[in-house]
Amino acid sequence: MAGLNGDPFLGIDDNIEKLQYNNNSKEAIDKEGLVVGIGEDSSNNKNNNQGGEKDMAGNSIHRSGSRPQLDLSKAEIQGNSEERDPTILLPNQTDDISHLALDIGGSLIKLVYFSRHEDQSVDDKRKKTVKERLGISNGNRRNFPVLGGRLHFVKFETSKLNECLDFISSKQLHRGGIDSHHWNSEASANENAVIKATGGGAYKFADLFKERLGVSIDKEDEMDCLVAGANFLLKAIRHEAFTHMEGHKEFVQIDHNDLFPYLLVNIGSGVSIIKVDGDGKFQRVSGTNVGGGTYWGLGRLLTKCNSFDELLELSQRGDNRTIDMLVGDIYGGMDYSKIGLSASTIASSFGKAISDKKELQDYRPEDISLSLLRMISYNIGQISYLNALRFGLKRIFFGGFFIRGHAYTMDTISFAVHFWSKGEAQAMFLRHEGFLGAVGAFMSYQKHGLDDLMVHHLVERFPMGAPYTGGKIHGPPLGDLNEKISWMEKFVLKGTEITAPVPMAPPGTTGLGGFEVPSSRGATLRSDASALNVGVLHLVPTLEVFPLLADPKMYEPNTIDLSDHKELEYWFTVLSGHLPDLVDKAVASEGGTDDAKRRGDAFARAFSAHLARLMEEPAAYGKLGLANLLELREECLREFQFLDAYRSIKQRENEASLAVLPDLLLELDHMDEETRLLTLIEGVLAANIFDWGSRACVDLYHKGTIIEIYRMSRNKMQRPWRGLKMQYGF
């Protein structure tokens, strides 16, 4: 499996075809599809888009009524898994619709909005040119007329609703997105525009939306949306769910057929606990009023923090023992072992604050924050477990914006569930935790189409889309490439220093009631500005499961798993060491203009920042494999419109290859059948190994191990690859 080629050039014969089907080249496919939609169809509608595509029509659009709808068929998450707010690509989306769904909660407004790639037509033209020049037809490759796009995930504080309205307005999201003029006819624009929204604010602020944006809010039930969102994410995204115990994060592969029933705990301002039995089949069985709002509300009163995130960050440096009364405090440092309580178990949250000797200002805000966080997380874990127990549910998924991927919060919840269930129940977390309701509201634009969605159609990509702010908007949205570049220049240091990966916390030594201090302190909580983790979910309808896989569900395409730290460090070093050379190549591929240089610089900043982020938290975007890293680099290049850094080289090589092709064919023709077959196989093999471009292959080559393979198939050729190996090899 030529799984790892970040550099899909490959001089020979079938490579172009391969490129198009290759798992790692799906981006190219997306784009090609997109181009059809955007570039050529621009203002027209989907009928054209679907022209060449028979089998898409089947599951793409079932329109009902006059309400604009989204086509979610074959939605795909991009790249690897991402952090909390990945974006989803909807290649089949072709209608003019509202591109926005909201979940307006008590503390936060969550937006899910749809955007499309801006730069696809260019890409397509170039591809075409290459193809034309190479004289390669598409052959039987299906030309998918899919429209691509991404689901973005953004949040605002509800108290700053105006910022949210400004954001929507500036991006024209209520009119179908910033580039709606491409494809949205003027007439249809927002006379009766309707936005799907859920959460209490959908009721409360409906008038305001009407007044400010001229749109009506179509209210979707909150629980419906939560469940729809969770079901979608759990089914559609490969690494959506994970466990988090004692600082150790582990992704969980959920079998679609064995998903239900489960308990969904959504921790927003308050907490809803929902038993989910199937799509649309659920019951809110419990809840608690001690939730995220309590943490932030009490935290604000007690610490003067200015934001939830600040408060959460404080907790990283806290020691709750100064303020909580522990069993040991009561028992003079002893355990109360008879009932299984260790000395470090919290007997009473804030119980030490009853002391006369200390006032509020005598306590460190860090300690207060941690104590609050533990109290609330633990309580939620406990109540959730008790409800799971009630219904015999083994799986508990926690979502909601309270968690924010915060390691300690998750550890605490997991600990509570583990402790009370004696290990029988398991707490799991969702990477899109905060956006369940918003995703569900988005899904409600069209209630069908999702059934067709297969995990393999959804590829989660690294978050390339602007804004690069971890889901939170600072300043104006980054509309075009230029803004993006400016943003990178302004906020991201070039050549961000890449340090060694933060070692995983050693398995904590938590006693019976233990769980002393956060075992996952580290810098796992990122302030918004530095978190480059707005994820992207892309739909790649062209992907199919290889039919001969023994166990498709368990198949892991990544052959190099970067959860091995040595491996991770090695590849990070290689990639960052390679960066200057790559930038040079990329700039050259775009003619070496000043503009190209500027873009190249921005690319270097962005990619370095991504690497730095991943170095800090390798699992930030889900389980990390080498293929994902290479893909990240490719996508990052494309983000700054380097459509193919190796284009000129590939061109040269392809031309050279084609020049010798007749000779090779002639030679092959003269072989007897057996030799010919062998030679062909060797040739393919050699190409494929070379395709990896990894140092290991180069080493193999140098040691002569595979030289024999080459010799047979290539000794008549000019060996175009010889001069290139250093460019692609790592």
Q: 296 or 642, CB closer to other proteins?
A: 296
Q: 68 or 270, CB closer to other proteins?
A: 270
Q: How far is the CB of 347 from other proteins (least distance, A)?
A: 4
Q: 371 or 542, CB closer to other proteins?
A: 371
Q: 308 or 442, CB closer to other proteins?
A: 308
As a whole number of Å, the end-to-end CA separation of the chain is: 19
Which residue from 284, 282, 242 is spatially nearest to 260, judged by alpha carbons? 282
What are the C-alpha distances in Å from 418 to residues 82, 346, 457? 26, 16, 34
Strand, helix or coil for residue 249? strand
Laid out side by side, the sheet with 108-115 consists of 150-157, 108-115, 100-104, 194-198, 216-219
Structure tokens at 712: 């047979």
Q: How far is the CB of 100 from other proteins (least distance, A)?
A: 20
In sequence order, the β-bridge partners of residue 109 are 104, 156
Q: How far is the CB of 207 from other proteins (least distance, A)?
A: 9
Q: How far is the CB of 349 from other proteins (least distance, A)?
A: 4
By the 8 A CB rule, do 620 and 83 touch? yes
**Across the chain, how many H-helices and E-strands are there?**
24, 18
Q: How far is the CB of 346 from other proteins (least distance, A)?
A: 4
Q: 338 or 703, CB closer to other proteins?
A: 338
Own/partner long-range contacts of 71-74 (Cβ < 8 Å, ≥24 apart): 71/95, 71/446, 71/449, 72/443, 72/446, 72/449, 72/450, 72/453, 72/539, 73/449, 73/452, 73/453, 73/539, 73/541, 74/146, 74/452, 74/453, 74/457, 74/539, 74/540, 74/541
Q: 331 or 570, CB closer to other proteins?
A: 331
Which residue from 10, 425, 456, 74 is spatially nearest to 245, judged by alpha carbons? 425
Amino acid (1-letter code) at residue 42: S
Q: 375 or 539, CB closer to other proteins?
A: 375
Q: 379 or 530, CB closer to other proteins?
A: 379
Q: How far is the CB of 568 from other proteins (least distance, A)?
A: 38
Q: How far is the CB of 425 from other proteins (least distance, A)?
A: 13
Structure tokens at 167: 């954001």
Residue 40, exposed/middle/buried by CB under 10 A (0-12, 13-18, 19+)?
middle
Dump the DSSP string for 279-298: TTEEEEEEEES-SHHHHHHH
Q: How far is the CB of 340 from other proteins (least distance, A)?
A: 8
Q: 204 or 256, CB closer to other proteins?
A: 204
At a CB cut-off of 8 Å and minimum separation 6, what does 63 contact? 69, 95
Strand, helix or coil for residue 430? strand
Q: How far is the CB of 57 from other proteins (least distance, A)?
A: 37
Q: How far is the CB of 198 from other proteins (least distance, A)?
A: 11
Q: 73 or 158, CB closer to other proteins?
A: 158
How would you classify the pairing of strands 426-430 and 458-461?
unpaired
